[in-house]
Structures are given as C-alpha cells and as structure tokens.
C-alpha cells in the first residue's frame, strides 16, 4: 500500500485501485460492439484471476514484552495510534488481480500486489482456488510473474501491441475491485507514453476507465480482446477514482515476463554514467528549438562508458539506433540492450558529432 506524491496523490492501484480497460487497435472499428461487450467479457473472464496475499511483519521487528494481563490486541488498540510505523504482528491481507498467460499456469500481476507475500492464493473465475508461487518480480516496472499448478484447463489471454494504441481508443477492464470479483469497466485511452516520474522506465498508457482498490494487476484489453496493458496506478486527490489511471504497456510486459520466466531475474544493460537533461540555454546556443539528448555529468570508474571513452560534458543524441529525447529515453534504451552487446552512441562533443562503440555491462542488482 505504497503511495507517493505528485501535485496530488498518485497511488499504487492495489492500494487505491487499478482497473482494466478496453482499447481499439487502429484499423479496428472505433465503436462499442453491437449489443455491448457481453460476448467479449464472457470469452475473456476465465483468463482473469483474483489474488489474495498474506504477509507478516519483518521477523526482526518483534512485539515488546507486554505488561501482565495485557494481550496483543489490547496493546495495539491502546498504543498503535502512537506508533504508526510499528508493525502489526498479525498477518495482513491484500487483494489484487492477475491474468493467465500460459496453459501451465503462469500469471502476470503487479509487483506491489505480491511484494512481501508469505502466501498467495489465486481464485479462478469459476471459484476454484490454488496456491501460487512467485517466479520473479521487477520492482522498477511493477511487473511480477507468479505460477499455479492446476490440473484443470486454463484460459490464457493473448497480448496485443500496445504501440498501436492511440488516445481515444476504447478500453475494457475486468478485475477484482474491493474484493467483489468479476467486475467489468470500460473507457478510453486518454494518453500514451505517459511519464509520471514514478521510475526510470515510465511509459504508461493513461486511461479514464474506473480504477479501484483490488484491480491492481488487472488486464487492459483492446476491442479484439487482447491485453495491451496492466493497470498499476491512479492519480487521485482523495484516494478514489477520478478517471485518471495508468497501465504498464504490453510491449514492456512481454519483454519483462520473458526474462523473468527464464531464471526469475531481470537482466538489463548498464552504461555507467550520471546524466542530466540539456538546459534551455544550452539548447538555444547549440541551435536546437528545444532541449534534446542526455548530458553526461559523471562517468563511473571501471564502467562500460569509461572503457569506451565517454567523457563528462558529452551529449548523447542517440543510442543503439534510438534517438534520445531526454534522460529517461536514454535509460530505457540502455536497459533494452543485452549486456555484452556492442551499441553505438552518437555523441555531441564540443560541437562535433562523434560515434562511440560501447560494450554494455550488466546493471547491478542493487540498481534494479
């Protein structure tokens, strides 16, 4: 139930909600299906699951010795409000949503739904309940892969191309708001490639579909019934849905899940520089209409950048064939390249464009 602040509260969807919505792929009919979404929902619902998570306080944070005659419940009732950061020794429970992606029981959900879990149960749309295990998680993109061992026929959902989504496309959500289960909401894509400064790899689909507590990890569908996103956060002044929600795009999810399924971990490329945006003044002096690229402030010792000859003051304009618009686009471009790969960086150095070959390293786990 983590929250952080922008101009108003932006909350993780499981805390305040996350909904799924249904979007249209360009070329598909830009209209609600004749007769509504009922047929589509009937087909998709078996692929959406409801997740219940149990967690306990960290082992090193124990209850103090209690006075004679006082039990844990009395202690927490009397003194809990005075110690808001003191752990509740009783197990806590959380709710979320997920969706099946394989016949062998792989399920995608949000990292924040299962983070710290001591037990996870998954309920299928027909009410069958199974224990789940975590295969791997990626906190930086809030993606998690879990798995159930079910001796029943499952209904995997299909990923669509989030890159094809446009503002105005319709979207549909099936999720578990407030633990109600099997709830459908709809709306449109409000914006794409949204950066909300929640992490280095922000590239969210924004939607106005209703998002409420318990929908975290739920799929965002297009009108073809393909998953084009996973609901993760909402923008809210008071904790409830105001029609501004954010979903991790499917193009990112598929890459992350493939990596997690391999060995449970994420491997990202590492360059080894500290960067900052180009200022308006520098852009004007260099003849740009607006700031571009990423300015190298510091080159880490013994890093791939140092070995390649990158220097403080260099302005990276492109990397691995991708035009660098800002610092975040460089972070994403580097992360998308496999360690050990040689990538070309186009650098502006003292007014001259220079091409530099960089052999990327592996981003340390502590930074992921």
Known catalytic residues are: 112, 142, 216
Task: Assess contact for 24 and 30: CB atoms under 8 A.
Answer: yes
Burial (CB < 10 A; 0-12, 13-18, 19+), residue 32, is middle
Task: Assess contact for 25 and 164: CB atoms under 8 A.
Answer: yes
Query: For residue 140, what are the contacts with CB-CB under 8 A and spacing of at least 6?
Result: 199, 200, 201, 266, 368
CA distances from 42 to 67, 155, 344 (A): 57, 12, 48
Q: Taking phi first (over 0 means left), then psi (-120 to 50 degrees means alpha), and beta for anything else, what does residue 206 get?
A: beta
* SS3 per-residue string spanning 170-190: EEEEEECHHHCCCEEEEEEEE
d(CA 347, CA 305) in angstroms, rounded, equals 12
d(CA 340, CA 361) in angstroms, rounded, equals 6
Q: How many residues does the chain have?
A: 368
Burial (CB < 10 A; 0-12, 13-18, 19+), residue 238, is exposed
Helix-strand-coil split of the chain, %, nearest 5: 20, 35, 45
Say which DSSP state 303 is in: S
Nearest to 115 by CA among 100, 97, 101, 134: 134
Task: Assess contact for 333 and 324: CB atoms under 8 A.
Answer: yes
d(CA 107, CA 300) in angstroms, rounded, equals 38
d(CA 285, CA 287) in angstroms, rounded, equals 5
Largest CA distance in the chain: 78
């Amino acid at each position: 139930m983590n929250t952080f602040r922008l101009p108003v509260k932006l909350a993780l969807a499981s805390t305040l909600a996350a909904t799924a919505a249904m979007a249209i792929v360009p070329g598909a009919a830009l209209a609600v299906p004749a007769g509504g979404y009922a047929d589509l929902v009937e087909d998709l619902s078996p692929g959406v699951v409801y997740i219940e998570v149990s967690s306990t306080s960290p082992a090193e944070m124990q209850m103090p010795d209690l006075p004679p005659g006082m039990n844990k419940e009395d202690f927490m009732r009397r003194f809990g409000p005075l110690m808001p950061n003191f752990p509740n020794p009783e197990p806590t429970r959380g709710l979320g949503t997920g969706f099946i992606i394989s016949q062998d029981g792989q399920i995608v959900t949000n990292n924040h739904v299962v983070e710290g879990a001591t037990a996870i149960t998954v309920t299928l749309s027909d009410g069958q309940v199974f224990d789940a295990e975590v295969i791997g998680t990626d906190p930086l993109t809030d993606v998690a892969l879990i798995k159930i061992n079910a001796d029943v026929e499952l209904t995997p959902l299909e990923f669509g191309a989030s890159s094809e989504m446009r503002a105005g496309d319709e979207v549909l959500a099936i999720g578990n708001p407030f633990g109600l289960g099997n709830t459908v909401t709809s709306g449109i894509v409000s914006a794409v490639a949204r950066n909300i400064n929640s992490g280095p790899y922000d590239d969210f689909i924004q939607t106005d579909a209703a998002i409420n507590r318990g929908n975290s990890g739920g799929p965002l569908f297009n009108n073809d019934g393909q998953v084009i996103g996973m609901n993760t956060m909402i923008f809210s002044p008071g904790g409830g849905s105001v029609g501004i929600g954010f979903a991790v795009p499917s193009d990112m999810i598929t890459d992350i899940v493939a990596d997690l399924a391999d060995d449970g971990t994420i491997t990202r490329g590492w360059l080894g520089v500290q960067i900052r945006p180009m200022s308006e003044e520098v852009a004007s002096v260099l003849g740009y209409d607006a700031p571009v690229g990423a300015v190298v402030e510091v080159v880490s010792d013994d890093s791939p950048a140092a070995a390649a000859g990158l220097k403080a003051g260099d302005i990276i304009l492109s990397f691995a064939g991708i035009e660098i618009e800002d610092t975040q686009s460089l972070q994403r471009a580097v992360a998308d390249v496999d360690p050990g790969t040689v990538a070309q960086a186009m650098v502006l150095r003292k007014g001259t464009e220079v091409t530099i070959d960089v052999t990327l390293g592996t981003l340390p786990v502590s930074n992921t």
